[in-house]
């Protein structure tokens, strides 16, 4: 059933965008953990804002092109692409 073409340009582009999302989400997560114990730290707050803003942009672009990453994202296409993009354990 699963037969992703790992050499296609589209697959490579998807992997690049996923890596970018992983980087930004990790940065946002790590600053959030810090903020959980330092809720008033202005530098951490600034960084968290920066990372989450960038994350939203990259995620929106990814979902527009490859379908929803979560079931609460908007599907802009005319079918539910959520189930068909590569599952994490199959990439």
Q: Which residues bind other proteins (CB under 8 A)?
A: 1-2, 25, 71, 82-84, 87, 89
**Encoded tokens for 3:** 């037969």
Closer to other proteins at the Cβ: 2 or 43? 2
Residue 47 · residue 27 · CB < 8 Å: yes
Closer to other proteins at the Cβ: 26 or 46? 26
Q: CB 43 → other proteins: shortest distance, Å? A: 24
Q: CB 89 → other proteins: shortest distance, Å? A: 6
Residue 61 · residue 20 · CB < 8 Å: no
> d(Cα 82, Cα 14) in Å, to the nearest integer?
14
Q: CB 84 → other proteins: shortest distance, Å? A: 6
Residue 32 C-beta-side C-alpha neighbours within 13 Å: 9
Closer to other proteins at the Cβ: 21 or 43? 21
């Amino acid at each position: 059933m699963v037969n992703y073409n790992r050499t296609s340009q589209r697959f490579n582009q998807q992997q690049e965008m996923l890596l970018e999302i992983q980087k930004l989400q990790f940065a946002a997560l790590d600053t959030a953990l810090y903020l959980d114990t330092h809720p008033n730290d202005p530098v951490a707050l600034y960084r968290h804002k920066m990372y989450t803003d960038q994350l939203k942009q990259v995620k929106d672009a990814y979902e527009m092109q490859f379908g929803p990453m979560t079931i609460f994202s908007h599907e802009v296409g005319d079918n539910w692409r959520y189930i068909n993009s590569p599952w994490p354990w199959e990439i």
